[in-house]
Amino acid sequence: MAHKCNAVCDESVVRNLVSKRHPDLAEKFDRFLLESYIEDNRMVKWCPSTPHCGNAIRVEDDEFCEVECSCGLQFCFSCLSEAHSPCSCMMWELWTKKCRDESETVNWITVHTKPCPQCHKPVEKNGGCNLVSCICGQAFCWLCGGATGRDHTWSTIAGHSCGRYKEDQAKKTERAKRDLYRYMHYLNRYKAHTDSFKLESKLKETILEKISISEERESILRDFSWVTNGLNRLFRSRRVLSYSYPFAFYMFGEEIFVDEMTNKEREIKQHLFEDQQQQLEANVEKLSKILEEPFDQYSDDKVTEMRMQIINLTVITDTLCKKMYECIENDLLGSLQCNTHNIAPYKSKGIEKASELAVCWNSKPSTTEKCVASDSGTSGKRDRPFGFGSSEDSGCPSQRRPKKETYGGVFFDISMPADVLHRN
């Protein structure tokens, strides 16, 4: 361009000029333009799948939501990690780091071992005698940690006293032991429900086989959708239950909210949350137990009775999940001064799936134009675009989340020309 030229050279002009001589460069320009648009828009993000599926997802009005890409990956749109509601993104980041690094290994070493006074390596006592020996050959007293000679006996103790109380060291050991036991409590229950979720995911094939067998029989019951509905409810409730334990670990611990609540307030809120957690856990286990029964071998009367039990438990678990989210958003996180912990809203229908953007575009003027419907969303209506994080779902709405500018919830293909992206 000439000096002091005020003409605007937009992407269409650049594309037409470059595509004549360097078509490959024009395609690269389109790709970089699309990537720049997605990276600069916080309501549009790439799917974090590995290997990358090449898809980007745009949400409707709330970035604190959980979505499912067309490749099948479910993830948190805010932090791009796995779906972790009701944990906030900060809680989940701290929890995964805590489970991944060696901080708890250090706690275990502090609780169950003592350092050798010569080589300073941790030594674990494997017998009843309090005179222990390190692999370096140094003998020391287990009670006080002081080095002794080989002639150390309880009748002649030279150079140190095993009866002296050291307050700082005792408090440090006791605190490490308490923190370790508390962490193991929440970790064991988190892993137990996560393992149950993985095993119950394999239950779907077995239940489908039982349904096919039951449909072939001459029975008064022909509709077995209540079984699949109960199974889907089991999956969602189990997932919520498993992630509720990392949430409780940080909500009622001293890592994040140490100055936000008094000990009395923390105790009251912990009892309130654990009561709801216990109710949900009991009903989830009941639903899991009933779904594993061989209903394909039962009589019609027993199948009818089982049907009513599953329908009732499905409604109960859904209601308990909603109440737990309401408790978290209103009574727990809602009462805090800091507003940095937002969670994805609970949806009775589960995590929403992305819908593909249908467009009409022509990348090359000389080729035949490819035209399909240009409405965004599954309903085909422009006045209400499909999106994620909407509070209109039958689940628990987020009352602490401000409304943002509405965007159409769409699914982008990376090969789409940038001018088409801006037109839509």
pLDDT at 282: 94
**Which of the following is catalytic: 129, 136, 338, 360?**
129
So what's the pLDDT on residue 331? 87
Mean pLDDT of 180-207: 87
Q: Which residue has the higher pLDDT, 137 or 172?
A: 137
What is the mean pLDDT of the segment spanning 132-136? 86
Give 287 or 120, the one with higher predicted confidence.
287
pLDDT tier, 53 (very low <50, low <70, confident <90, very high otherwise): confident
Measured distance CA(246)–CA(89) in Å, rounded:
11
The per-residue pLDDT for 279 is 94
Q: Which residue has the tokens 């009251």?
A: 268
- Pairing mode of beta strands 131-133, 139-141: antiparallel
Q: Tell me the pLDDT of the chain averaged across its residues.
A: 76
The phi, psi pair for 226, rounded to 5°, reads: -65, -25
Q: Which residue has the higher pLDDT, 123 or 11?
A: 123
* Count of beta carbons in the 10 Å neighbourhood of residue 377: 19
Per-residue confidence at 142, pLDDT binned at 50, 70, 90? confident
Domain ranges of the chain: 11-83+351-423, 116-164, 169-332
Q: Provide the pLDDT for residue 322.
A: 94
Class of CATH domain 169-332: mainly alpha
Cα 258 to Cα 377: distance, rounded to the nearest angstrom: 45
Q: How far apart are CA 299 and CA 297, in angstroms?
A: 7
Quick check: helix, strand or coil at residue 297? helix
Split at pLDDT 50, 70, 90, the class of 175 is confident
- Name every residue whose Cβ is closer than 8 Å to that of residue 236 and which is 6 or more positions away in sequence: 321, 350
129 annotated active-site: yes
Q: How far apart are CA 361 and CA 287, in angstroms?
A: 50
What is the average pLDDT across 381-404? 35
Which CB contacts under 8 angstroms, 24+ apart, belong to 300-305?
Answer: 300/219, 300/220, 300/221, 303/214, 303/219, 303/221, 304/221
Say whether the peptide bond before residue 397 is cis (omega within 30 degrees of 0).
no
Can you tell me the distance from the alpha carbon of 158 to that of 25, in angstroms, rounded to the nearest whole number? 83
